[in-house]
């Protein structure tokens, strides 16, 4: 299921050189979901931590939706424009199929071929309420606009639970005019409140590896400044074993990470020693073939948070499983 969020047309080159050249400077596809082939990014925004309201029910009154799911986290918003002889439904169906294949839970979905329809999930009026609450800056997207040849629209919201927090994908698609389709893809990544207490399971790890090529583990504990694995790490180790048994062809780098306290040389060695300790534990005590695991250490060189406070340093001290 590697690259499982590639669109159904993954055999086609995703974007032509011309399309890539036209992308908004500094923009990029999000790792969990790519673009429909030929689409161009015309607006891109990323916020480290913001609230987001996901509409999960129909319009029930004048510009009113009663059913919302309130979430918060890192938000990436991407507006795609696709020109040519495609239909909004073709784009909508490709995105929906992709997230289903990736194991996402569909929270709500709907589409309508009439640009003037207003009530149910996916219709123009519905999109107006949803994107009205999750404001797109003026002039950044034409998802709520239309021309004399505008057509239908579609919308879905989906959720995938991961060890480090859930990720939500919200996609709205409209036929702006006969030869142009607009897609807004919003990705909201939640974070667990206490990373050191994250419980991992084999299925969630497998999904992260398929989407990101790696999974970060905070359930493996070591003695202070040591590479000795503590007994409370056993649940996480058992889930890694379960993952490797379910996927017998999977080969992994076991990568140790540290915070920035101490010298670079010391932390590089400590991270490598900890990675080797995990690999040894899995091979000698749990029967995993040595050839499937390769231990590496990168010390403090790949932080995921600031090293200026205890919370950030705790997030940087981790073990990652990276697909080989």
**Quick one: pLDDT at residue 12?**
28
Number of domains in the chain: 2
Q: Is the separation of the CB atoms in 39 and 80 below 8 Å?
A: yes
pLDDT of residue 293: 97
Residue 51 belongs to some domain of the structure: yes
Q: Which two tokens stand for residue 287?
A: 């029967």
From residue 11, how far is each of 36, 47, 86, 184 by CA, in Å?
Answer: 12, 32, 17, 23
Query: What digits encode the pLDDT tens for the residues 88-141?
Result: 999 999 999 999 998 899 999 999 987 666 679 999 989 999 999 999 888 899
Looking at per-residue pLDDT, the higher value among 207 and 277 belongs to 277
Judged against a pLDDT cut of 60, whether residue 18 lies above it is answered with: no
Does the structure show a pLDDT above 50 at 2?
no
Task: Out of 149, 172, 189, pick the residue that ends a domain.
Answer: 189
What kind and span of H or E run contains 52? strand 40-55
Q: Which of 149-153, 188-192, 209-213 has the highest mean pLDDT?
A: 209-213
83 domain residue, yes or no? yes
* Cα–Cα distance measured from residue 78 to residue 272, given in angstroms and rounded to the nearest whole number: 38
93: Cα separation from own chain's centroid: 19
Residues 211 and 309 in one domain: yes
167-177 and 318-323 beta bridge pairing: unpaired
Provide the percentage of residues in the chain whose pLDDT is more than 90. Answer: 57
For residue 277, name the pLDDT band (cuts at 50, 70, 90): very high
Asked if residue 205 is part of any domain, the answer here is yes
Residues 179 and 210 in one domain: no
- B/e letters for 131-144, b = 16+ CB within 10 Å, e = fewer, are beebebeeebbbbb
Domain boundary residue among 161, 189, 217? 189
Here the CATH number for the domain that contains residue 283 is 3.30.1330.60
Residue 32 has pLDDT above 70, yes or no: yes
Distance CA(292)–CA(324), nearest Å, equals 9
Tell how strand 68-83 and strand 40-55 pair up: antiparallel
- CA–CA distance, 26 with 16 (Å, rounded to integer): 18
Rounded CA separation 38/83 (Å): 8
Instruction: Categorize the per-residue pLDDT at 17 as very low, low, confident or very high, splitting at 50, 70 and 90.
Output: very low
Return the exposure string of 288-322: e unless at least 16 CB atoms fall within 10 Å of the residue's CB, then b. beeebbbbebbbbeeeeeeeeeeeebebbbbbbbb
Dist CA 209 CA 236 (whole Å): 16
Whether 263 and 159 share a structural domain = no
**Residues contacting residue 155 through CB under 8 Å, at least 6 positions apart:** 55, 108, 109, 110, 111, 121, 122, 126, 127, 130, 170, 171, 172, 173
Looking at the structure, do residues 181 and 203 belong to the same domain, yes or no?
no
Give the residue with greater pLDDT, 147 vs 289: 289
Pair 152, 204 in one domain? no
Residue 207: pLDDT band with limits 50, 70, 90: confident
- For residues 276 and 313, the model is more confident at 276
8 vs 94: CA distance, rounded Å: 6
Nearest CA to 321 out of 232, 241, 228 is that of: 241
Q: Is the pLDDT of residue 149 over 90?
A: no
The model's confidence at residue 192, banded by pLDDT at 50, 70 and 90, is: low
Radius of gyration of the chain (CA): 22
Percent of the chain exceeding pLDDT 70 equals 89
In a domain, 8, yes or no: no
Residue matched to tokens 């005019």: 177
**Are the CB atoms for 128 and 144 separated by under 8 Å?**
yes
Domain final position from 189, 218, 239: 189
Cα gap 227→235, rounded to integer Å? 18
Return all residues near 243 (Cβ < 8 A) that are at least 6 apart: 202, 205, 206, 250
Crossing angle for the helix pair 202-212 and 234-246, to the nearest 10 degrees: 60
**Domain range holding 287?**
195-323
pLDDT at 83 over 70: yes
Which has more confidence, 212 or 147? 212
CA 46, chain centre distance (Å):
13
The first and second tokens of residue 320, run together, are 């990652």
Task: Say if residue 176 is in the same domain as residue 200.
Answer: no
Residues 234 and 112 in one domain: no
Residue 292 lies in a domain: yes
Query: What distance in Å separates the CA atoms of residue 83 and residue 69, rounded to the nearest whole number?
Result: 33
Task: Pick 318 or 6 by higher pLDDT.
Answer: 318
pLDDT in tens, 261-272: 889 999 999 999
């Amino acid at each position: 299921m590697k690259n499982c969020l590639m669109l159904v047309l993954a055999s086609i080159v995703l974007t032509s050189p011309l399309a890539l050249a036209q992308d908004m400077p500094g923009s990029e596809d999000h790792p969990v979901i790519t673009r429909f082939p030929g689409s161009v990014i015309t607006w891109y925004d990323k916020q480290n931590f913001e609230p987001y309201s996901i509409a999960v029910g129909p319009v029930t009154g004048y510009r009113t939706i009663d059913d919302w799911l309130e979430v918060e986290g890192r938000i990436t918003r991407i507006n795609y424009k696709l020109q040519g002889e495609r239909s909004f439904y073709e784009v909508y169906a490709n995105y929906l199929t992709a997230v289903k294949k990736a194991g996402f839970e569909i929270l709500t979905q709907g589409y309508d071929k009439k640009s003037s329809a207003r009530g149910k999930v996916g219709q123009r009026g519905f999109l107006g309420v949803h994107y009205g609450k999750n404001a797109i800056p003026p002039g950044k997207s034409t998802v709520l606009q239309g021309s004399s040849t505008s057509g239908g629209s579609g919308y879905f919201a989906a959720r995938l639970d991961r060890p480090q927090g859930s990720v939500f994908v919200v996609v709205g698609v409209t036929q702006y005019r006969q030869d142009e389709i607009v897609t807004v893809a919003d990705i909201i990544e939640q974070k667990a409140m206490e990373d050191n207490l994250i419980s991992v399971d084999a299925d969630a790890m497998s999904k992260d590896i398929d989407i990101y090529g790696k999974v970060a583990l905070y359930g493996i504990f070591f003695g202070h400044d040591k590479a000795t694995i503590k007994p409370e790490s056993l649940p996480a180790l058992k889930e890694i074993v379960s993952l490797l048994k379910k996927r017998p062809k999977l080969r992994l780098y076991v990568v140790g990470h540290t915070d920035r306290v101490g010298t670079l040389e010391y932390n590089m060695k400590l991270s490598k020693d900890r990675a080797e300790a995990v690999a040894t534990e899995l091979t000698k005590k749990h029967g995993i073939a040595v050839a499937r695991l390769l231990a590496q250490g990168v010390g403090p060189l790949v932080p995921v948070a600031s090293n200026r406070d205890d919370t950030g340093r705790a997030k940087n001290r981790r073990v990652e499983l990276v697909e080989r």
